[in-house]
Structure 1
Amino acid sequence: MFGCEKKNVKWALTLTAAGLLAGCSDNTSTAGVISETESGKTIAGIVTDFDGNTIKGAKVALMRSDFIAVRGNPEMETTTDDSGKFSFEDIKSDSFNIQVSSDGLLDFRNILDITKLEDSVYRFEVSEGSNLKLELNAYDLALGDTICIDGSLNCFIVNSEDVDRGYILADGIPSAYFEKITIMTAEGETETDSVYWSFRSEDTLLVTRDKPGYLVGLRKMTFNDSVVATLKAMDSSITLKHIPILVESKSETVPTLIDANGYEIDYLLDAKSVKGKEVLLMDLPEISANMLDGNVLSLREIEPTYLSLGPHPYTFYNLDAYDSEGYYGTGLHLDSTKKDLTLHKYADGFPLFEDGSLGFSFWIKGEAPADTGFTIFSSTPSVNGGFEIRQCSKDPATICTRIYSGLESASTDTTLYGSAKILDGSWHHYFVVFVQKHLTIAVDGKTIRNTDIKISDDFSESQFNIDIGGKNAFNGEIDEIFLTSFDDSIRAKGDTTWQQLQSWLSVFYGLQKEPAILD
């Protein structure tokens, strides 16, 4: 099996304990070594199980790191002898992969540079392989498409069963780390992609979009009846996106979760106490009625291998000087010792009127004062317009939103919207949304004003700050100031009533008032 004449022995990679393989060269054993002959390099090794027993008849393949299994055979293939030994001779490249298999047990080695492995000790020890659960929408895979893990013997063709269930479920993958995959469509197109796929023995690597992780288990999130009713009342084609929700977790640990569409559920803030309960603030990437089973949303718990966290499209603030329960604390960019507080445009990296939209909400609790005319919030005024949230002049128990349009016409310069009689000593939630030249106001989750407005074309470009308070101070409590922006997806095509936005506001309120339960 081994030749005795060698030239310039330069490498001595022992793939197993010394002396297990017999051979000869310059009075030095060639057992389990890499050596160089006139025609190329030779590598020898031994395959064992976990207990150290040698394995006869194990299949051993040597391939380049860019090898694609469906395009041909590995550069070299062999099987182990009665003593579990094998060798490859005349190896032309310095870097390669070796994959070993025996009755479903696997091992894998990535040799990056054969010249740097002198005197290293190795053992090919086969063990249970790893599994892959690959969501088809992660790479827009369709029937007949093929996906291969470069540098391995593993390729998978999408069949009708995969299409019906929405994912590929494959086993027999070696416990190793891979950096590249190749996708070949049924139409003959080819695409490669860099990945971070780290497989572990007996674990299932779950790949959804760009969020790989080890599948740990299934979890369920239970919503209250009012939220479910709102979702079921929506048009079936509507999906609400990126809703920050409060969740009461029954788990002692904070699980990493993804939804049915493969979106990671990010935690926006650490656990906080709300009415005696420890809750989490989560970003729910998507929710619709058809994702629910009754009141339950099924989620998957994963142990992430790599997470690509991007900026969140919203910011919460907590006012210690005004609040009574302190739901959230974020390290405020606010001077809470003054009545004329200012939320700066880039506080926590969030600009007002991002992409021409602004969502602004808060919880408020107060009694109707004897005097009128106080301002709760106001944006920086300019010739292009602005807005205030203030006490309405006709009823001291009522607040409303005053819009300064920035238009030259005096008749449209100032208009009041969203009058709500909520200064009654109880907590209420007030939400104002600008999307281009449309205004929606919701109180306690119910839309009270939903209309196009006449404002300057430069209205959104002039808003830099939101001031808290004004000439006449508001005597009451304000909590959980929330800012967000909305992209075009907040309004479904052809939706003249802005139902999707109204539903978003209702669900947001319902899940702030009564947290979902995570089991």
Structure 2
Amino acid sequence: MMKILWLSIFCAGIFTACSNSDHAGVLSETESGESIAGMLFTEAGTPAAKAAVYIVREDFNAAHDTILAESKTAEDGSFVLETQKLSAGNYSVLFENADENLAAKTAITLGDGNAKNFGDTLNISATILPTATVAIPFSEMPLDAGDTLCLTGTLVCKNITASDKQNGVVILSGIPAAEYNRLEIFGEESESVSVSWKIESGSTFVANKDDANAAAHTFSRTLADLNFGKLPNTLDSVPFSIWLLTNANHPLLVNEMGDVLPSEKIYAAGDSSLYRVIIPQFNYAENRMQKISQLNAEISAYSFNRIRYAAPWDSLTSAGIFAGGKEFGNVTPDSVSNFEIFQDGKFAISFWMKLDKNAFGKDSSVALFTAMQDSLGFVIRQNRFNNYKSIGVELFVNADTVLISDTTIYGSAKILDGNWHYYAVILRGDHIHVMLDGKVIHNTDFNLAKGFGKLENFVIGDSRLNGIVDELKIYDGTQDTLWMRSVYEMERPEQNPWNEI
């Protein structure tokens, strides 16, 4: 799908093509045919260089029709379009800067292209504005997976996927601000749908045939610059948590790229709810700022299969996203049974904790997380290093009938300081990674022998533990350390919170 650049065409304050001999844009006959000349500007009034310019028929459909002429703007924002002796009629000029998500659309009328004297001066002066995004519910249109949906008069088309059908909504992005009256659906039975949309630039809408309602809320967050050069450009399925003023089970969230962000409600408090959300693809190199719009619609349920279990304990009265978590002390720890810990020899876990120097006392059996069955398994607990001020991972595996208690303490970390810390462990085969606050502190093989046995339960915390654990997640183990670090970067409390803008 081609993205396009919105540019407003104006003369005397009206968005249109203008005839005025005092302006540089000229429509005249040349040896190769008529030409259209003009200027392109940014919203700040500076020239817009290296933007694409197209001329298409008024009823242009990007899936089947061809672009009649195209050009690019020069460094000073000027452009010329050779019309190749187009016949008289109505046309549209489209402008595009795909890197900036900006677009323009304006209507023009050409006379007889064979005339010796084609006409007066035609000025086209364009200003760059942001594109819009429209979410179209399946319930509003005769849509199906495999169809192609195009917005008539634009370069915007979308191949409808099975995921779109599962979500119950199709997202069209990169739309120039304008009024629109037709959608084309191409499938086994092609269909033209009449609409009545007045789309404003830079906005996100939920649309039916007769109207387009603006997004309920828009949020943004910018991730820190620190060490981002060590991260890959793109990561898939990055999770985060967010409070929203809704009680919908799966609110419709859309980012600037037109991606639907799968969501699920974790729990509600008053008129707000805490949601787990997935960014389908996150590109650090292009833009660390995520702008997300919450629309007045709900999508279908989504399977968060990479996160197999999650236990957030935030509250509306908390000071920040992690404070106010579940405090164990004399409270019975959380136990989960009938849950297969390791799948295909893989397992990963991450959580946040806030522990002071007296969180464990001097009992090395007090654990933050325990997954044990018949003396086999995996434990994260206090160890004796640094005068009982560290935690670490211990592994218990089975070699035929002999139990191997691995005396190695993996990823020992001195973190009993009353501050929030992020701890993550990835076990894959006979290899272990341990991370503290987004950095790898242990990376080695261990003696796997015959494995851990069949573990079907785990316990979070300990009745003797005096501290806070939050945002605990168990993953499918396919994650690498860079992906796990992205979770840390998305969740850490020093980051700017998700604010409504």
TM-score by length of 2: 0.50
Are the counterparts in 2 of residues 147 and 156 from structure 1 also a CA contact under 8 Å? no
* 1:268 aligns to 2:265 (yes or no): yes
Q: Among residues 215, 222, 235, which one is paired with 2:232 in the alignment? A: 235
Q: How does 1:6-405 map to 2 (within 5 A)?
A: 147=148, 171-173=180-182, 181-183=185-187, 201-202=196-197, 216-217=214-215, 221-223=219-221, 225-226=223-224, 228-229=225-226, 231-236=228-233, 238-246=234-242, 256-259=252-255, 260-270=257-267, 280-285=274-279, 286-292=281-287, 296-304=289-297, 307-312=299-304, 313-317=307-311, 339=332, 341-346=334-339, 351-354=340-343, 356-368=346-358, 371-382=362-373, 385-395=376-386, 396-405=388-397
Are the counterparts in 2 of residues 385 and 456 from structure 1 also a CA contact under 8 Å? no
Specify the code of the residue in structure 2 equivalent to 1:367: K
Q: Deviations over 1:278-318 (max 9, x none)?
A: 884441323221452xx5323344333x6221233354436
Q: Matched residues in 1 for 2:427 and 2:396: separation?
A: 13
Q: Matched residues in 2 for 1:223 and 1:243: separation?
A: 14
Q: Matched residues in 1 for 2:153 and 2:397: separation?
A: 56
SS of match in other structure, 1:405: strand
TM-score by length of 1: 0.49
**Cα gap change, 1:511/1:231 in structure 2, threshold over 3 Å: closer, same or farther?**
farther
**Cα gap change, 1:513/1:373 in structure 2, threshold over 3 Å: closer, same or farther?**
farther
**Cα gap change, 1:440/1:345 in structure 2, threshold over 3 Å: closer, same or farther?**
farther
> 1:212, CA displacement in angstroms?
8.4
Q: Greater Rg, structure 1 or structure 2? A: 1
Are the counterparts in 1 of residues 135 and 207 from structure 2 also a CA contact under 8 Å? no
**Cα gap change, 1:380/1:446 in structure 2, threshold over 3 Å: closer, same or farther?**
closer
Q: Matched residues in 2 for 1:224 and 1:156: separation?
A: 32
Are the counterparts in 2 of residues 266 and 283 from structure 1 also a CA contact under 8 Å? yes
Q: Matched residues in 2 for 1:231 and 1:198: separation?
A: 46
**Cα gap change, 1:240/1:230 in structure 2, threshold over 3 Å: closer, same or farther?**
farther
> 1:454, CA displacement in angstroms?
3.4
Identity %, equivalent residues: 16
**Gapped regions of structure 1 (runs ≥ 5):** 1-68, 71-130, 149-154, 184-190, 206-210, 492-497
Q: Deviations over 1:454-486 (max 9, x none)?
A: 325543x6222222456xx64421232512314
Are the counterparts in 2 of residues 271 and 280 from structure 1 also a CA contact under 8 Å? yes
Considering only aligned residues, what root-mean-square deviation do their CA atoms show, in Å?
A: 5.2
Specify the code of the residue in structure 2 equivalent to 1:442: M
Q: Matched residues in 2 for 1:370 and 1:262: separation?
A: 48
Give the structure 1 partner of residue 455 of structure 2.
Answer: 463
Q: Matched residues in 2 for 1:166 and 1:317: separation?
A: 34
Aligned residues: 328
Specify the code of the residue in structure 2 equivalent to 1:375: V
Are the counterparts in 2 of residues 245 and 511 from structure 1 also a CA contact under 8 Å? no
SS of match in other structure, 1:223: strand
Give the structure 2 partner of residue 62 of structure 1.
Answer: none
Between Structure 1 and Structure 2, the one with more helix by share is: 1
Are the counterparts in 2 of residues 245 and 283 from structure 1 also a CA contact under 8 Å? yes
Q: Matched residues in 2 for 1:341 and 1:139: separation?
A: 44
> 1:200, CA displacement in angstroms?
6.1
**Cα gap change, 1:172/1:261 in structure 2, threshold over 3 Å: closer, same or farther?**
closer
